[in-house]
């Protein structure tokens, strides 16, 4: 038998407060504060003479040089040349990487023939191939594009291949019961399933594309951002060098933005992307 | 006595939808299905009961042409469809495209919409599968199976992952859809109540063969509270070796 417990007086209540929106500047502004502070510090160091201009030009000088370079059109030309190299290199290298990954991913024969050589060549540092590329392709555009192509093929290969092999087997089975042909299976199930990984590879490939570009443009270039930098080095123009570095950084940022947009539309089916 | 005449007509030989003779399947030498015979007639609702690991899912996978490492005679209709325990919708295709995936020709949205309306999912036509609740996803999976107008529908524990309330609704939906489509159904489950509610015939699988068989002639829709259902439930549990 259960005994009815006597009431022990009114319990102490406390009011729960709903979360209030955080005060202060908007997020985007706050994120911009860090870099801006750094530039301000740099400017102060330059103005007080702590940072001599031979070591590093002041931000104000850099902005001045950038506008000057833009006025003469040198900067735009250099950017266009460099962008073209990256796009061509990425198209060729990425295309090869994706085609090889699909071959290796979809068939056992392809895996046996393609995967082992790819994994071996992957470990060779691309930069070490520059001398060979010069002997094979001369000193024109070809070795620069080839270097970018080489650098970008591998990240795409590895990620697309892993993506294809990682496709959910239960979905493949379900598709079989729906009577999908092999081609339809690849198109509707395997490639979409590999897409998240493929985009990781793409993002990585873009990163190394800029890296390869910097190396490629240090060798016998007559145009491009690397060339601009090389000539600036000859004349100790630290301001121009900084302009080029900033351009590289901004291009990298822009490209990352493009990949984000791609992910947002191509991977809209992922729950993590709802409402963004 | 029109209904009696009707009954009599239905009892005339009905063509088989599934015909299995001497089916064997082993995994690494361990016999899971051993000399199994089974015939399912067209339009019949068969529920296959069995303890975990008894080979009932293997049988269903063989019928769905997902498992070919067997020997024996297995005849199934060319038009068949499977709904799995997990809905297995392609997450990168909107619900309606999932429904008509694999059908010949261009994706027919109107067809998908009709199938989705039938399972009560009209309002979810355009969303991504991952947004659906468990019950909704399972209904989409049913729509995907039925849109193929199957002569044999294979259901592999389709309600096992649903919560109790959703399961009751889903079972009622399957009963209703079956009465409309009149396809043969093989439903694999370990839920004895589900078997008593839905089946024309219940099979209990044990040691690789059909160990028990029971025909249920109760009228539909059936009620869990019906004492007949409770009695059947008890009998099936006995057959499964569960003491209650």
Q: Which residue among A170, A189, A193 sits closest to B86, beta carbon to beta carbon?
A: A170
Q: Give per-10-residue mean pLDDT for chain A (276 aa).
A: 62 71 77 88 91 86 91 91 93 96 92 91 85 87 92 95 94 92 93 94 91 83 85 87 88 86 88 53
Give the Cα separation of B22 and B36 in Å (integer): 5
pTM above 0.80, yes or no: no
Q: What is the pLDDT of residues B145-193, one digit of tens each?
A: 999 999 999 999 999 888 999 999 999 999 999 999 999 999 999 899 9
Whole-angstrom distance, CA of residue A196 vs CA of residue A266: 9
**From the CA of A259, how many Å to the nearest CA of chain B?**
18
State the Cα–Cα distance between residues B198 and B6, nearest whole angstrom. 21
Assess B84–A contact: CB distance below 8 Å, yes or no.
Answer: yes
In angstroms, the separation between the Cα of residue A93 and the nearest Cα of chain B is: 27
Please tell me the number of Cα atoms within 13 Å of B7 on its side-chain side.
Answer: 6
- Please give the order of strands across the beta sheet that includes B30-41: B30-41, B16-27, B71-75
Contacts of B148 in chain A (CB under 8 A): 178-179
What are φ and ψ of residue A48, in 5° steps? Answer: -85, -5
Tokens of B201: 């015939």
Give yes or no for B96 touching A (CB within 8 A).
no
Residue B93's φ and ψ, nearest 5 degrees, are -120, 135
**DSSP secondary structure string, B91-153?**
TTS-HHHHHHTT-SSS--HHHHHHHHHHTT-GGGTTS-GGGS-HHHHHHHHHHHHHTT--SEE
Q: Which residues of A touch B144 (CB under 8 A)?
A: 178
Contacts of B88 in chain A (CB under 8 A): 170-171, 173-174
* pLDDT value, residue B13: 75
In eight-state DSSP terms, residue A11 is: P
Using the beta-carbon criterion (under 8 Å), do A192 and B90 form an inter-chain contact? yes
Residue B140, pLDDT > 90, answer yes
* Residue B161 per-residue DSSP state: T
Note the pLDDT tens digit of each residue in B56-100. 999 999 999 999 899 999 999 999 999 999 999 999 999 999 999
8 Å CB contact between A167 and A189: yes
Indicate whether B6 pLDDT > 80: no
**What confidence tens digit (pLDDT) does each residue in B7-61 have?**
545 556 788 999 999 999 999 888 999 999 999 999 999 999 998 888 999 999 9
The question of ipTM being above 0.90 is answered as no
* Residue B107, CB-side half-sphere exposure with 13 Å CA sphere: 15
Which residues have CB under 8 Å from B119's CB, separation 6+?
B139, B140, B142, B143, B146, B173, B177
Spacing of C-alpha B93 from chain mean position: 25
| Smallest Cα distance from B82 to chain A, Å | 6
pLDDT of residue B10: 53
Instruction: Give chain B positions within 8 Å (CB) of A175.
Output: 90, 101-102
Distance between A22 CA and the closest CA of chain B, angstroms: 29
Decide if B128 touches A, using CB distance below 8 A: yes
């Amino acid at each position: 038998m259960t005994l009815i417990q006597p009431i022990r007086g009114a319990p102490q209540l406390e009011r729960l407060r709903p979360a209030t929106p955080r005060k202060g500047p908007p997020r985007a502004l706050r994120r911009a504060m860090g870099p801006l502070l750094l530039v301000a510090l740099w400017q102060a160091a330059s103005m007080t003479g702590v940072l001599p201009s031979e070591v590093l030009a002041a931000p104000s000088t850099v902005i001045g040089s950038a506008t000057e370079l833009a006025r003469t059109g040198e900067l735009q030309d250099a950017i266009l040349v460099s962008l073209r190299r990256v796009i061509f290199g990425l198209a060729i290298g990425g295309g090869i990487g994706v085609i090889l990954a699909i071959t290796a991913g979809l068939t056992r024969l392809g895996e046996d023939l393609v995967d082992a050589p790819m994994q071996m060549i992957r470990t060779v540092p691309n930069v070490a191939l520059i001398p060979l590329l010069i002997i094979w392709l001369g000193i024109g555009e070809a070795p620069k594009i080839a270097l970018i192509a080489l650098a970008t093929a591998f990240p795409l290969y590895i990620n697309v291949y892993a993506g294809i092999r990682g496709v959910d087997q239960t979905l493949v089975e379900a598709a079989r019961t729906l009577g999908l042909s092999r081609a339809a299976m690849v198109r509707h199930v395997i490639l979409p399933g590999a897409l998240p990984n493929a985009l990781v590879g793409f993002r990585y490939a873009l990163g190394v594309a800029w890296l390869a570009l910097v190396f490629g443009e240090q060798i016998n270039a007559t145009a491009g951002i690397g060339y601009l930098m090389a000539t600036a080095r000859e004349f100790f123009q630290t301001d121009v060098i900084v302009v080029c570095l900033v351009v590289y950084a901004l291009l990298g940022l822009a490209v990352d933005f493009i990949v984000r947009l791609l992910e947002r539309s191509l991977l809209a089916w992922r729950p993590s992307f709802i409402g963004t | 006595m029109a209904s009696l005449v009707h009954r009599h007509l239905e009892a005339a030989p009905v063509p088989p939808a599934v015909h299995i003779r001497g089916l064997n399947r082993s995994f690494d030498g361990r016999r899971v299905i051993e000399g199994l015979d089974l015939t399912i007639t067209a339009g019949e609702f068969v529920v296959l009961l069995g303890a975990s690991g008894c080979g009932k899912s293997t049988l269903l996978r063989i019928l769905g042409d997902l498992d070919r490492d067997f020997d024996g005679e297995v005849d199934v209709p060319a038009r068949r469809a499977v709904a799995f325990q997990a809905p297995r919708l392609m997450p990168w295709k909107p619900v309606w495209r999932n429904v008509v995936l694999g059908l010949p020709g261009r994706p027919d949205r109107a067809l998908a919409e009709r199938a989705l309306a039938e399972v009560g999912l009209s309002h979810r036509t355009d969303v991504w599968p991952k947004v659906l609740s468990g019950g909704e996803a399972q209904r989409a999976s049913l729509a995907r199976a039925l849109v193929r107008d199957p002569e044999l529908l294979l259901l592999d524990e389709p309600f096992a992952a649903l919560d109790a309330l959703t399961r009751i609704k889903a079972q009622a939906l399957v009963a209703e859809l079956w009465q409309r489509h009149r396809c043969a159904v093989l439903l694999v489950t370990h839920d004895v109540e589900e078997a008593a509610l839905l089946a024309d015939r219940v099979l209990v699988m044990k040691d690789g063969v059909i160990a028990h068989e029971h025909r249920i002639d109760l009228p539909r829709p059936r009620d869990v509270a019906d004492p007949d259902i409770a009695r059947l439930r008890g009998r099936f549990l006995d057959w499964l070796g569960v003491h209650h």
